[in-house]
Amino acid sequence: MSAATAFALCALLLVPAQPAYADIAGDVNEWLCGLLRDCCNWMFKAQTGVLGSIGANGILSADFAHMLTSSSDLTMHDVARGVWQVAILPIGCGVLGLVFTLKLIEISQRMDGSQSLPGVKEVVFLLVFFAVFLFLIQNSFDLMASIYEVCGLAIDRVEALFGAGGALDLPEVSVVTTDDDIPSLIAMLVVSLISWVVVLAAYVIALVVCWARALQLYIMAAFAPIPLAFLGMDATRQIGLGYLKSFGAVCIAGVIILVLLISFPLVLGGLTGANPGTGTPADAVANGLTYALQYLAMCVLLILALVKSGSWARDIVSGF
């Protein structure tokens, strides 16, 4: 009797075991898929946030006096302005004096007894020319800063219109994550980890490009008096015009970099994986891999575009 009772009790205990086991397995699968999906979403969102921070509150949005920060009261802006005032401005004034002397000699060579009145007129024009260019040279640093602020206004307006770009939402950019398929989500997690490395490389390159741009702007502004002084002569005017075009191109490069950083997550949002349509679990894996390759290709393209932003800006300015 005791044996039959024990058998019955064991049988009762075993009856709900199978359904409970199935529910637990489903819950674990759902929980694990949700965890993997959340990790992937967080990584992709963090990646776009890292890139967006460069333009939203970083170097590109800074004013001319604070493009490069410093741990002391002395900034790179102060160094550039000091070099401009102490060393380069006297040289620029000297070059302007040389240009003025050459033009005065040119006028004197054309003057004779019958051309006294036209010669005086030319001398007066020359004095006006000297006063105007002396004013430009003495305020050249602030003039360059004003040109930069014009491009800074364009950057601020672009940021006000688009922000730092849209954040990636993994369920929208890849159909792989709509299914609770652990292998596909693990593959996507691997992709997100690899993309972290590529995005960090893009972030470092973007910072280097932005810092190099800031240094170039400061150096060019510091040496502005010399090329501006050459604007006074027809033979050397192209030197000054080339300098102004180069400075404008460096400023415009900031707008190009911002557009690249804003458009990067938007372009990624349009990527889709290729589904072979076999109706097997291999479809999800193939879908994830093709999306991964497209994502990494776009990251590499972003790096190349950041590196080429300066040459693109020069191509734009060269048409002026």
Q: pLDDT tens digits, residue range 217-229? A: 999 999 999 999 9
Instruction: Please check whether residue 123 is in contact with residue 104, taking contact to mean a CB–CB distance below 8 angstroms.
Output: yes
Q: Over 50: is that where the pLDDT of 47 sits?
A: yes
Q: Over 80: is that where the pLDDT of 9 sits?
A: no
- Residue pLDDT, tens place only, 114-163: 555 556 777 778 888 888 889 999 999 999 999 999 988 888 888 888 76
Residue 173 pLDDT class (50, 70, 90 cuts):
very low
Instruction: Please check whether residue 206 is in contact with residue 51, taking contact to mean a CB–CB distance below 8 angstroms.
Output: yes
User: Which residue type is seen at 14?
Assistant: L
Q: How far apart are CA 116 and CA 106, in angstroms?
A: 14
Tell me, what's the pLDDT at 141?
95
Token digits for 216?
């170039």
Please state the rounded mean pLDDT for residues 82-99.
92
Residue 174 pLDDT class (50, 70, 90 cuts):
very low
Q: Which of 48, 302, 52 is nearest to 164 (CA)?
A: 52
Tell me, what's the pLDDT at 87?
93
Higher pLDDT, 149 or 269: 149
Q: Over 60: is that where the pLDDT of 231 sits?
A: yes
Residue 78 pLDDT class (50, 70, 90 cuts):
very high
Q: Which of 248, 167, 208, 162 is nearest to 59 (CA)?
A: 208
Domain boundaries, the chain: 53-318
Q: Which of 197, 191, 163 is nearest to 265 (CA)?
A: 163
**DSSP string for 146-201:** HHHHHHHHHHHHHHHHHTT-PPP-HHHH-GGGGS--HHHHHHHHHHHHHHHHHHHH
Helices (H), 15-88: 17-56, 76-83
Tell me how crowded residue 123 is: count the other CB atoms within 10 A of its CB. Answer: 15
Q: Which of 243, 195, 193, 194 is nearest to 221 (CA)?
A: 243
> CB-based burial of residue 261 (10 Å sphere; 0-12 exposed, 13-18 middle, 19+ buried)?
buried
Instruction: Please check whether residue 240 is in contact with residue 139, taking contact to mean a CB–CB distance below 8 angstroms.
Output: no
Contacts of 61 (CB under 8 A, 6+ apart): 55, 152, 155, 156, 159
Phi, psi angles (nearest 5°) of residue 310: -65, -45
Tell me, what's the pLDDT at 20?
46
Residue 33 pLDDT class (50, 70, 90 cuts):
confident
pTM score, two decimals?
0.74
Hunting for tokens 């050249």 — which residue is that?
140
Higher pLDDT, 51 or 131: 131
Higher pLDDT, 84 or 203: 84
Tell me how crowded residue 181 is: count the other CB atoms within 10 A of its CB. Answer: 21
Please state the rounded mean pLDDT for residues 289-311.
81
When the pLDDT of each residue in the chain is averaged and rounded to a whole number, the result is 77
